[in-house]
Amino acid sequence: MYGNAYIDPKKANSSLVDGENPEKLAEFEARIARGEKIEPKDWMPAMYRKQLVRMIEQHAHSEIIGSLPEGTWITRAPGFRRKLALMAKVQDEVGHAQLLYNAAETLGKSREDMINDLISGKSKYSNVFNYPAKTWADSAVIAWLIDAGAIVNQLANSRGSYGPYCRALERICAEESFHLKYGHDNVVFLATGTSKQREMVQDALTRWWPPIMHFFGPSDKDSVHSETLMRWKVKMASNDDMRQQFLNMYVPKIWDLGLTLPDANLKKNEETGKWDYTEPDWEEFKRVINGGGPCNAERLAVRRTAEENGQWVRKALLKESETYVTPLS
């Protein structure tokens, strides 16, 4: 589960290619233009490597942190069917983290360094996971709509230029599509269930709508268009395009279930064919990304505890005679 990578405005465009060998750069760009994939041992501009590490790493962190809000509902899931499905789903998310850390490692940063950067707060993860999953219905809404959003983003990125990331994403998308079916089924049962169940799911949806709108990142007019990153097929679709695609696919489905969304301006504009909506509070988005969300501290504390408690295990497994090997991807 993952939203769009947050691109640092200070690092945009021309500075990405400063100091690169122009011939190698031209060949690299020509390969990408021809639709070829870049593989770990191939030449690549330093900033391409850096941006990709950051993006894949953020994605991996999102999977592992994302397993926490849903994971708390595994032990509470009502009935065998839901319990087994949710266990498998959250296990998939942890498996995605493993695949993605491997893909990022092919670019030269070790998993350990990435996890250290996560728990120190240096690297980011998707903002949505800094909100609490208060009820069982929250876990259903996450599984349906956050995973749906992730698929929109990841399908776009799977057509990117870096081979190991694309291959990881193809597998991830296949699994996410099952999550989405599970989440949808779960929401349908709640939305068509008892009044208590309907109330739970409506409440969850209302609370999750702003984070879902934030999920694809700031509006295009306020975010940096990184033409170079687009040309290098690191960034594959604009934030607004992905948000529109998501709204178009899922708002009708939500309304079909008799559920409402907390935005009176949300409607499809028949002239433009696009969805009109109230811009979500982007100040809040920035506040949460910078650590001020309701669960940032808790999520990192849990992760830190897990790392600390597991340290003796990792230490015991380390053999001095063995050297670090970059994983295959």
Partner 1 sequence: MELTERHVEGLKHLLYKMADDLLIIGHRNSEWTGMGPILEEDIAFSSMAQDKIGQSLAIYNILHEMGEQEPDTVAFTRNASSFHCSQLVEQPIGEYDFSLVRHFLYDYADAIRFDMLSNSIFEPLAMVCKKFRGELKYHTMHANIWIKDLAEGNEESKTRIQNALNKAYPMALSLFEPSEFDKELSEAEIFSGEAKCRTIWEKEVGTVILEAGLEIPQVSDPEEYYGGRSGKHTEHLQPLLDEMTEVFQIDPTADW
Is the CB of 101 or the CB of 246 nearer to partner 1? 101
The string of DSSP letters for 54-75 reads HHHHHHHHHHHHHHHHHHTTGG
The residue whose two tokens read 């609490």 is 132
User: Which of positions 176-235 make contact with partner 1 (CB under 8 A)?
Assistant: 189, 193-194, 196-197
Q: Which residues contact 275 (CB under 8 A, 6 or more apart)?
A: 244, 247, 248, 251, 266, 267, 268, 269
107 is a contact residue toward partner 1 (CB under 8 A): no
Alpha-helical (H) ranges within the chain are 22-33, 46-71, 80-105, 111-119, 136-141, 147-157, 163-191, 195-214, 227-231, 239-256, 282-287, 296-317
Applying CB under 8 A, the span of 25-33, 79-87, 141-149, 232-240 interacting with partner 1 comes to: 79-87
Distance between CA atoms of residues 261 and 73, nearest Å? 24
310 is a contact residue toward partner 1 (CB under 8 A): yes
306 is a contact residue toward partner 1 (CB under 8 A): yes
Query: Which member of 174, 264, 316, 325 binds partner 1 (CB under 8 A)?
Result: 316
Applying CB under 8 A, the span of 20-28, 87-95, 223-231, 269-277 interacting with partner 1 comes to: 87-95
Is the CB of 41 or the CB of 312 nearer to partner 1? 312
101 is a contact residue toward partner 1 (CB under 8 A): yes
Q: Please report the sign of the dihedral spanned by the C-alpha atoms of residue 108, residue 110, residue 113, residue 119.
A: positive
Query: Which member of 23, 273, 283, 317 binds partner 1 (CB under 8 A)?
Result: 317
312 is a contact residue toward partner 1 (CB under 8 A): yes
295 is a contact residue toward partner 1 (CB under 8 A): no
Query: Which member of 67, 106, 238, 244 binds partner 1 (CB under 8 A)?
Result: 67
Applying CB under 8 A, the span of 92-100, 116-124, 156-164, 169-177 interacting with partner 1 comes to: 92-100
Q: What single DSSP character describes residue 120?
A: T
- In this structure, what is the dihedral angle of CA atoms 84, 90, 95, 98, given to the nearest 10 degrees? -150
Pair type for strands 267-268 and 275-276: antiparallel
How many CB atoms sit inside 10 A of residue 136's CB?
A: 19
Query: Which member of 21, 26, 76, 110 binds partner 1 (CB under 8 A)?
Result: 76
Applying CB under 8 A, the span of 22-30, 67-75, 162-170, 219-227 interacting with partner 1 comes to: 67-75
16 is a contact residue toward partner 1 (CB under 8 A): no
Binding site for partner 1 (CB under 8 A): 64, 67-68, 71, 73-80, 82-84, 87-88, 90-91, 94-95, 97-98, 101, 136, 189, 193-194, 196-197, 302, 306, 309-317
